[in-house]
Each structure stands twice: as structure tokens, then as C-alpha cells.
Amino acid sequence: MSAGTGVSGNGGESKFARAEQAARFVLARTGLRPEIALVLGSGLGGFADELTEPVHIPYREIPGYPEPSAEGHVGRLVIGRVGGVPVAAMQGRVHLYEGLSPESVVFPMRVFGCMGIRAVILTNAAGGIARELKPGCLVVLQDHINLQGTNPLIGPNEDRLGTRFVDMTAAYDPRYQELALKEGRRLHLDVFGGVYAGLTGPAYETPAEIRYLRVIGADVVGMSTVAEVIAARHMGIRVLAISCVTNMAAGITGQSLSHAEVLETGERVKGQFIALLRAVIPHIADDLKESGGRTIER
């Protein structure tokens, strides 16, 4: 299979073998060995430009790595440092709505696990459902509701990646939530805790669907993240996820929704978002040092 074409769901190679091959390719390009990774969503990829000692690897060069087609997703992996802490940052992700399989969507997360990543910070642009939210505020995810109609763990389990049945009780690490909320308030940011509803897209939700999501407990809604969190927890990777509210969901303001608004709001709050990530990453690094161990043995 050529690089950048996505991951086949069948064939002779196992999920682990494909992910391990890509991980070895990435690690051969840098002397850094990060234990923290970031996935930067729509309009939020600018954080990767802040890394020092950067090594840039286009997704198309990584064996099996899927390339994003959505605007605002650069399609590049950047390995570098944040305040001295080695990190791997994805500038853009792929989505189910691009016609990819769940396994393709989570393939980068599998690669992170094989690289030795132990904690991941997932970011996304989301629509605000809770009435106290407004465009530009940040929401530290406490839980999710999977309405994407699928799960990346369906099919034969790869025991070298993780156990068959995964506990999702604390899918979003409670300690990391606390750290992010504390640092956000210290920086005087508009930061909240909340529940993310994951749908497939690419159509935005209808006003009736937003009313339904509010009733079942969702605070924000988007088209990503859920599958990545499931795959991360399958491999024992700890998760922090932060949504940037880029627009209010359908029917709340009466205005039409557009991807241009998503990108514009992401650009407007980029400085606040970068400040929060810079504040949180050293704390996560310290926590990983104290806990010791690695996720997947390479």
C-alpha cells in the first residue's frame, strides 16, 4: 500500500504490524522520543508552528498514514519541543465523513501507541449547545456520547494493541481535566467542562437534532475525536481533550452555519489556545515521570 492512502481493513498485515511500521518510519526521522502527542483540529494547527527543534513529516510520506481532505487540516506531523518537553503534533486529522473506515481514522493513534506515546491531547472545533457557551470559549471534555454509528474496535481484536473489552468509565483522564481547568482559569480564559457528542457529518446538525442532543446531556457537538479516544484508551494512552467552540449549534442563534466561521474563530482564539496548551503540557510531562512505564512495547 502506498503512503497516505489510508489503512486497508484486510490483507495479511495486522493492525499492529502496520502501525509499528509507520512508527519506526517516524522515529527514524528524529532523535526525540516524545511521550505526549497532540491532535490539532480545524483551525487549531497553528500550535505546531510554535514547536522548537521541529521535524516536519507530511502524512503522505508515512506508510499507511491517511491524508485529510478538509480545509483547515494541513496534513503534517511535527516532532519538536514545547518548553523543553518533546511532543508529536498532528496538524490536521481525517474524519469518517471523508469516506474513510474507522480503522483509517484511528490509524494515527495506533502509530502513536507504537511510538511510545503515553498521553494524548486531542483538540477539535465544536458547536456550542449549552447556553452558557459562546464562540471562542474552550471546553475541557469530561465525557462523550458516540452517535457516529460505529466503533473502531469492531472486528478481530489485536491483543498487542489492547484488551478486547475496554473500560470507558474515565475515558477522559480526570487528573488532566483538573489540570486544564485550573490552568485555564489561572490564565483568565473562558474555560468550561462539558460532554461532547460525536456525529459523522459532514452536514451540520438540524435544530431538532440539537434539541435532542441537549436533552441527552451534550454540551458541544462535533464530527471527530470519539473514535480517537476509544482507540487511545484501547492502548492505555491517557487522554485530555479540549473543544474550541467555534459557533453556536443550529437553531440557537437563528444564523446559518459555515466552515469559514469555524476557521475564523479558530484563528481568533489561537493565542488563548496556545497559552493553555503551553501551560498544561509540562504538568502532563511531570505526571508521566511520576507514573513511570510505557504503553506499548516496541
Name the residues annotated as catalytic: 42, 73, 95, 97-98, 125, 223-224, 247, 259
For 221, phi then psi, to 5°, come to: -140, 140
Q: In whole angstroms, give the CA distance from residue 37 to residue 21.
A: 18
Q: Is the dihedral of CA 159, 198, 228, 26 positive or negative?
A: positive
Q: In whole angstroms, give the CA distance from residue 40 to residue 229.
A: 14
Which of 82, 86, 88, 118 is CA-nearest to residue 274? 82
What does the DSSP assignment read for 98-157? GT--HHHHHHHHHHHHHHT--EEEEEEEEEE-STT--TT-EEEEEEEEE-SS--TT-SS-
